[in-house]
Amino acid sequence: MRIGRGFDDLNYYFCDACRYCFSAEKLPDRCPDCGAVAHDDKKAVRPASKTEIEELLKIQKEDKENIK
């Protein structure tokens, strides 16, 4: 899923191997966190669902608020 931010559009991806959700310009061939390429006979990294993106953004917001 793509979240529009002007010229800084971000794509969100999810690793089914380690459950890492992250943003990147394009789909990577492996997870940047655990390095998995495949999981359960499928590619480990896939576009994140709306729910996964919302959870990531919620956690990032909470983290930012806790830093203040």
CA distance 37 to 23: 17
- For residue 66, the number of C-alpha atoms closer than 13 Å in the C-beta half-sphere is 6
Mean pLDDT, 10 residues at a time, the chain of 68 residues? 52 97 95 98 97 94 86
How far is it, in rounded angstroms, from Cα 55 to Cα 35? 22
Q: What amino acid occupies position 64?
A: K
Evaluate if pTM is beyond 0.85: no
In this structure, what token pair is assigned to residue 35?
């390095």
Q: What is residue 6's predicted lDDT score, i.e. its pLDDT?
A: 42
Number of neighbours of residue 14 by Cβ within 10 angstroms: 21
Q: Which of 7, 6, 11, 9 is nearest to 21 (CA)?
A: 11
